[in-house]
């Protein structure tokens, strides 16, 4: 049943290409229907499957001569991310209700992207995972290059090249693992159980980890993220920040860390005070948190603020992964969900509610427009999203970041101070953007000539409410996610990780 | 010397005979009966007759499986050669059918004849392990291709490209013949297995190779490096790809590549067995593997980097062909049974994609008058189906899953690494370079999907903005695209066949 999320998305994309070109409304409705069905499937599964253990969905032979199988399976971690994909898919369509230009193709690419994201989260066979992971790249390019804004072709190409270089690194690692294991299997469980030599893991781990982490916005390979997000149309930025960056983080956890756990072990010597890949990536993640926040603090473009905040928040996820303790790792997964929802919400406010109406994202120009009066819903939504993103209790961001910080406290006490600094700057940049964009002193003289902005439409309200509710539910009752994440982390798949430095 | 059984020879060569007969019939019908008819009719009839011959040959190959070796490898028939021949015939059919709406020539019978003769040359090439027959069939193939390149008499580019092709080809044939004569001198035989025996007998393992053998290796690599357009023997490729009429260029890029790579593998792996050497990183030892490794590395780097700056789609395809030749040389360098399978899978799917791309280029050129990148602006709004096919072909060439090009690369790299970790550096280089290649393929797709149609087209009436496509050409292009998708999603369909053929033949 869960496999149908992929097929329905792809079928929807195909149908959209066959629809008559002139009818944008039909395209929207069809796309929304497809996304709703996939969302319903993931939600039902999420609610039913509360044990969190690995559950095979489909398993048939695909390329027998290489022992590669079409094997889809889901455990607690993938279910959380599948649900996130479903939510973002639906709300993304709601927020692109105003797309008129080549609407069929837009939604076809959109559904292709969604379908392959579902595919990545569902794949158990590593070649299959890689196949879906690479398909994601192509629709991303066209979504940004055709429907994007500021420097769209540059942003799109940069994004594609970064992703493709990352996946090339992953491919080298996967082929090497397949050949070294020599077992004619690409199944995640089998390869994770294979005792690769420590020497092999020492070079394979950073290769695959960085390959995936490029897409997760690891500093200093993050530069595609802000430009890509800014250039993308609203729905594409939501997907990009909401789920595509999670693909990278998911790959780090699911592939790099489970296949090569010994790659995290100490080297036995120190370079610049760092003694293992684990410490290297932890430090890079912290730099990402602080750097992303600092840069977000000085942006003039509203969307760049959110773009850099994504880099900062993704740093939390990578740092959580590097803590290697249960609270840190589960915090990282909760943060994947939380950031997916919140980044989606913020990009929706900036890209759809504000930019599509005012046609500017310059904070200095937005201020005089007196937006909290003109579009109060947008202002209110942004305030809520901002509070959640700062980590106020009651929202998902608080739970996730708290868990990660506790994990970091156990693992790298010194880094906690810097993380705290990142959190404080996080409050500051949100505050600044909010103040400048929505609550600046309205300049009555220059505000007059503006035509009244179109009111917020129903699809936008619906989308915003869905996202806020999702964040609040997780914030008030995090067990809804943790109940299935923790058993998944305790499953045999992560045995290697537990033996190799898990504390 | 055993006696020659002519009846058996006839049996073995029957597919080739059928194709030649079809070629002659097509020529006769065209010249005797259809001379006054419009070009399109003549082309359709001739192409259909030719295709019919190819289909009959395929039927014969499929229905009469044989495992025969006449005169110590002079003419072979086994599942493997049959497989390659079927692939060649399919490519020939696709080329013929795509050519039906082109108007570059009035000599239609001759064109079809030459395509089929080239096919016959490549079929003989695939079915021999004897230096003489290999050389003769190679010349038959090459000479036909030179003429096919020059076939567009109205464009000076075409003749210029043909002359360049001919001069380079003649030179490389001389090198090849020189190498073959040295091999004959060393081994007193023209049969590949005998040559390998002689190499084996001449030196204990570890002793340096005979210098004459080294010269033979280098000249053979030069000769075939030219055929497969590997750096630094690639100079003809961009001009020929650009100057030749599109069907000829498509044939040169596809069928001729399939046959050349197959026989290149055979010569190196069978004929030079025992003189491999090693190309492991920092531990080169003399032999033919390091030669190929260097050629492969240079081809990948140069092909991909130069393709980035191309403004003409045909030249871009030419440089991408050089890069792909580099990837495929990896399979020859690792010369295992699995890598032969990987090479065949790669070269066949590559041929489908590149032939299809030329088909699209031909149609676009026909309507917009050129193959510059800007001629493709906004194609998706004017010819959605054609653009969709180009999307599939180019992404397959770039190696994006789930298209055939991706699985070809994956299997190739797995098989190369499976033969030992020595060639890891080449695999890493190849993967890095294929990341570069996505950039220029996307440049073309960007023109097609992102850019808006040029002013004059946008201002023209709705009737003129859509590109009318001839049904037959479009059908062939769509079929090729479907093949690329199918073999990508279900690689086993083709792989199963290749593996079975290699296993029964025993390579």
Q: What is the DSSP letter of A3?
A: T
Give the single-character DSSP code of B279: E
- Does B166 map to a domain? no
Nearest-neighbour CA in chain A from B491: distance (Å): 7
pLDDT digits (tens, 9 = 90+) for B76-131: 888 899 999 999 999 999 999 988 888 778 888 899 999 999 999 999 999 888 99
Confidence (pLDDT) at A76: 87
Q: Mean pLDDT, consecutive 10-residue segments, chain B of 507 residues? A: 74 90 92 84 90 93 81 83 93 91 83 93 91 93 93 88 92 92 89 86 67 88 91 90 91 93 91 78 79 92 92 93 94 90 94 93 84 85 88 93 91 89 88 90 90 67 57 90 92 90 82
Between chains, do B417 and A131 touch, taking CB under 8 Å as contact? no
Of A64, A141, A160, the CB nearest to B492: A64
d(CA A301, CA A309) in angstroms, rounded, equals: 13
DSSP conformation class of A368: G
B204: Cβ–Cβ under 8 A, 6 or more apart, which residues?
none
- Judged by CB atoms closer than 8 Å, whether chains meet at A168 and B431 is answered as yes
DSSP for residue A265? S
User: Shortest Cα distance from A19 to chain B (angstroms)?
Assistant: 13
Residues B130/B73, Cβ–Cβ less than 8 Å:
yes
Measure CA A450 to chain center: 37
Beta bridge mates, B283: B280
Residue B111 lies in a domain: no
How far B434 CA lies from chain A's nearest CA (Å)?
Answer: 8
**Segment holding A271, helix H or strand E:** strand A266-271
Task: Return the pLDDT at A492.
Answer: 81
Task: Give yes or no for a contact between A316 and A404, defined as CB atoms under 8 angstroms apart.
Answer: yes
End-to-end CA gap in chain B: 25
Q: Enumerate residue ranges in chain A where pLDDT < 70.
A: 442-451, 500-503
**Residue of A6, A19, A131, A137 to mutate when probing chain B, most B C-beta within 10 A:** A131
| Helix (H/G/I), strand (E/B), else coil: B291 | helix
H or E element: which one contains A263? none
Residue B405 lies in a domain: yes
> Residue A196 phi/psi, 5° resolution?
-65, 150
The reported pLDDT for the residue numbered B391 is: 93
Quote the pLDDT of residue B466. Answer: 58
Q: Residue B450: its chain A contacts at CB < 8 A?
A: 142, 145-146, 153
Does A48 reach chain B within 8 Å, measured CB to CB?
A: no
Question: Nearest residue of B to residue A142 by CA position?
Answer: B450
Of residues B402, B432, B435, nearest to A135 (C-beta):
B402
Neighbours of B273 (CB within 10 A): 16
Query: Is A63 in Cβ contact with B491 (below 8 Å)?
Result: yes
Cβ separation B492–A137 shorter than 8 A: no
Locate the chain B residue with the closest alpha carbon to A171. Answer: B431
At which residue do the structure tokens 């903005």 appear?
B465
Tokens linked to B466: 């859509």
Residue B363 lies in a domain: yes
Q: How far is B199 from chain A (nearest CA, A)?
A: 32
Q: Tell me which chain B residues have a C-beta less than 8 angstroms from the C-beta of A64.
A: 492, 496
Chain B partners within 8 Å of A131 (Cβ) = 401-402, 406
pLDDT of res. A500: 61
Residue B400 token pair: 């994006």
| Per-residue CA distances from A198 to A187, A194, A260, B287 (Å) | 21, 12, 9, 34
- Please tell me the predicted confidence (pLDDT) of residue A445: 52
CA distance A258 to A324: 12
What residue of A is the nearest CA neighbor of B407? A131
Express the helix, strand and coil content of chain A in percent, nearest 5 each. 75, 5, 20
Choose from B334, B377, B410, B420 for mutation: most chain A CBs within 10 A.
B410
Specify if B39 maps to a domain.
no
- Picking from A13, A60, A62, A66 by the largest number of B CB atoms within 10 A of its own CB, the best residue to mutate is A66
* CB neighbour burial string for B418-449, b if at least 16 within 10 angstroms, e if fewer: bbeebbbebbbbbbbbbbbbbbbbbbbbbbbb
Nearest to A141 among B434, B442, B491 (CB): B442
Sign of CA dihedral A178, A182, A184, A189: negative
Query: How many whole angstroms separate alpha carbon A129 and alpha carbon A178?
Result: 14
Chain B contact present for A199, CB below 8 A:
no
Residue A150 buriedness (CB in 10 A; 0-12 / 13-18 / 19+) = middle
On the question of a cis peptide bond just before residue B402, with omega within 30 degrees of 0, the verdict is: yes
The answer as to whether B149 is a domain residue is no
Number of independent structural domains in chain B: 1
The tokens describing B57, both together, are 């040959």
Q: Do A164 and B492 touch (CB under 8 A)?
A: no
Judge whether B22 and B50 are in contact, CB under 8 Å: yes
Helix (H) or strand (E) segment spanning residue A223: none
Structure tokens at A319: 């740092």
Longest dimension (CA), chain A: 75
Range of the domain at B378: 276-507
A135 to chain B: which residues are within 8 Å by CB?
400-402
Task: Tell me how many residue pairs between chain A and chain B have CB atoms under 8 A apart.
Answer: 72
In a domain, B327, yes or no: yes
Residue B400 to residue A153, Cβ atoms within 8 A:
no
Between CA A440 and CA A427 the distance in angstroms is: 18
Residue B164 included in any domain: no
Pairing mode, strands B75-77 and B278-280? unpaired
Which of A131, A160, A165 lies at the smallest CB-CB distance from B402? A131
Please tell me if residue A172 touches chain B, with a CB cutoff of 8 Å: yes
Angle separating helix axes B404-418 and B313-334, nearest 10 degrees: 30
pTM for the whole structure:
0.92
CB contact (8 A) between residue B395 and residue A138 = yes
Distances (CA, A) of B75 to A397, B11, B191: 73, 11, 11
Chain A residues with CB inside 8 Å of B428's CB? 172
How far does the CA of residue B164 sit from the closest CA of chain A (Å)?
A: 36
Contacts of B342 in chain A (CB under 8 A): none
Nearest to A138 among B400, B417, B491 (CB): B400
């Amino acid at each position: 049943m869960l496999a149908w999320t992929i097929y329905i998305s792809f079928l929807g994309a195909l149908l959209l290409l066959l629809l008559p070109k002139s009818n944008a409304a039909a395209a929207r409705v069809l796309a929304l229907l497809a996304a709703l069905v996939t969302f319903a499937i993931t939600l039902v599964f999420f609610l039913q499957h509360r044990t969190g253990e690995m559950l095979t969905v489909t398993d048939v032979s695909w390329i027998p001569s290489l022992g590669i199988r079409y094997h889809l399976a889901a455990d607690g971690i993938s279910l959380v991310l599948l649900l996130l994909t479903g939510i973002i898919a639906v709300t993304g369509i709601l927020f692109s209700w105003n797309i008129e230009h080549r609407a069929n193709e837009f939604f076809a690419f959109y559904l292709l992207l969604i379908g392959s994201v579902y595919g990545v989260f569902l794949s158990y066979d590593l070649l299959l995972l890689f196949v879906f992971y690479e398909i994601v790249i192509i629709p991303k390019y066209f979504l940004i290059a055709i429907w994007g804004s500021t420097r769209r072709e540059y942003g799109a190409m940069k994004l594609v090249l970064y992703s493709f270089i990352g996946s090339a690194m992953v491919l080298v690692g996967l082929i090497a693992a397949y050949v070294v294991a020599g077992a004619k299997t690409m199944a995640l469980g089998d390869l994770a159980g294979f005792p690769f030599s420590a020497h092999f893991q020492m070079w394979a781990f950073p290769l695959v980890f960085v390959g995936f982490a490029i897409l997760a916005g690891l500093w200093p390979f993050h530069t595609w993220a802000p430009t890509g997000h800014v250039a993308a149309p609203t729905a594409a930025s939501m997907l990009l920040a909401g789920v595509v960056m999670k693909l990278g983080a998911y790959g780090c956890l699911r592939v790099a860390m489970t296949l090569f756990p010994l790659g995290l072990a100490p080297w036995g010597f120190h370079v610049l005070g760092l003694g293992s890949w684990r410490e290297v990536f932890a430090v890079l993640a912290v730099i990402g948190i602080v750097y992303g926040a600092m840069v977000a603090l000085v942006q003039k473009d509203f969307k760049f603020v959110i773009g850099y905040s994504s880099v900062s928040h993704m740093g939390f996820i990578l740092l959580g992964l590097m803590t290697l303790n249960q609270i840190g790792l589960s915090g990282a997964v909760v943060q994947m969900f939380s950031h997916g929802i919140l980044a989606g919400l913020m990009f929706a406010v900036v890209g759809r509610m504000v930019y599509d109406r005012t046609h500017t994202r310059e904070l200095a120009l937005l201020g005089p427009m007196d937006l909290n009066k003109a579009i109060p819903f947008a202002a209110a939504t942004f305030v809520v999203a901002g509070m959640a993103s700062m980590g106020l209790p009651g929202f998902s961001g608080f739970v996730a970041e708290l868990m990660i910080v506790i994990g970091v406290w156990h693992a790298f006490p010194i880094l906690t101070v810097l993380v705290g600094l990142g959190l404080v700057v996080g409050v500051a940049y949100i505050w600044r953007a909010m103040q400048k964009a929505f609550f600046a002193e309205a300049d009555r003289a220059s505000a007059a000539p503006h035509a009244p902005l179109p009111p917020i439409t129903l699809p936008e309200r619906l989308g915003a409410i869905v996202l806020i509710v999702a964040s609040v539910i997780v914030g008030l009752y995090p067990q809804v996610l943790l109940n299935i994440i923790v058993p998944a982390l305790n499953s045999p798949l992560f045995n290697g990780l537990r033996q190799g430095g898990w504390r | 010397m055993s006696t020659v059984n002519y009846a058996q020879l006839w049996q073995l060569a029957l597919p080739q005979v059928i194709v030649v007969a079809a070629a002659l019939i097509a020529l006769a019908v065209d010249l005797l009966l259809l001379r006054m008819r419009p070009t399109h009719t003549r082309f359709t009839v001739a192409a259909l007759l030719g295709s019919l011959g190819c289909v009959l040959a395929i039927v014969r190959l499929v229905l009469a499986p044989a495992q025969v070796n006449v005169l110590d490898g002079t003419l072979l028939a086994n599942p493997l050669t049959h497989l390659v021949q079927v692939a060649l015939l399919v490519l020939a059919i696709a080329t013929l059918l795509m050519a039906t709406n082109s108007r570059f020539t009035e000599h239609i019978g001759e064109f079809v004849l030459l395509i089929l003769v080239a096919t016959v040359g490549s079929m003989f090439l695939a079915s021999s392990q004897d230096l003489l027959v290999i050389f003769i069939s190679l010349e038959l193939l090459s000479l036909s291709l030179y003429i096919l390149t020059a076939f567009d008499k109205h464009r000076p580019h075409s003749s210029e490209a043909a002359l360049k092709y001919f001069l380079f080809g003649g030179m490389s044939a001389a090198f090849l013949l020189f190498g073959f004569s040295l091999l004959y001198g060393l081994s007193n035989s023209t049969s590949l297995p005998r040559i390998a025996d002689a190499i084996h007998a001449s030196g204990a393992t570890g002793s340096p190779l005979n210098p004459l053998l080294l010269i033979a290796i280098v000249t053979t690599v030069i000769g075939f490096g030219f055929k497969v357009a590997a750096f630094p023997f690639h100079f003809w490729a961009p001009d020929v790809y650009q100057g030749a009429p599109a069907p000829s260029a498509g044939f040169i890029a596809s069928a001729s590549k399939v046959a050349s790579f197959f026989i290149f593998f055979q010569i190196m792996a069978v004929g030079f067995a025992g003189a491999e050497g090693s190309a492991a990183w920092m531990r080169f030892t003399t032999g033919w593997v390091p030669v190929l490794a260097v050629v492969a590395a240079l081809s990948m780097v140069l092909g991909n980097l130069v393709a980035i700056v191309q403004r003409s789609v045909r030249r871009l395809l030419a440089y991408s062909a050089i890069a792909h030749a580099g990837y495929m040389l990896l399979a020859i360098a690792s010369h295992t049974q699995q890598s032969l399978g990987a090479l065949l899978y790669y070269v066949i799917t590559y041929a489908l994609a590149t032939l299809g791309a030329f088909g699209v280029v031909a149609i676009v050129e026909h309507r917009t008058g050129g193959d510059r990148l800007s001629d493709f602006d906004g194609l998706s709004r004017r010819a959605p189906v054609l653009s969709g096919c180009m999307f599939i072909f180019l992404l397959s060439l770039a190696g994006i899953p789930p298209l055939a090009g991706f699985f070809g690369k994956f299997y190739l790299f797995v098989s190369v690494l499976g033969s030992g970790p020595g060639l890891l550096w080449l695999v890493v280089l190849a993967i890095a370079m294929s990341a570069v290649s996505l950039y220029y393929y996307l440049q073309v797709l960007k023109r097609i999907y992102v850019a808006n149609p040029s002013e004059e087209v946008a201002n023209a009436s709705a009737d003129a903005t859509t590109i009318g496509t001839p049904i037959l050409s479009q059908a062939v292009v769509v079929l090729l695209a479907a093949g690329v998708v199918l073999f990508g999603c279900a690689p086993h369909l083709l792989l199963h066949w290749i593996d079975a053929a290699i296993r029964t033949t025993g390579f």
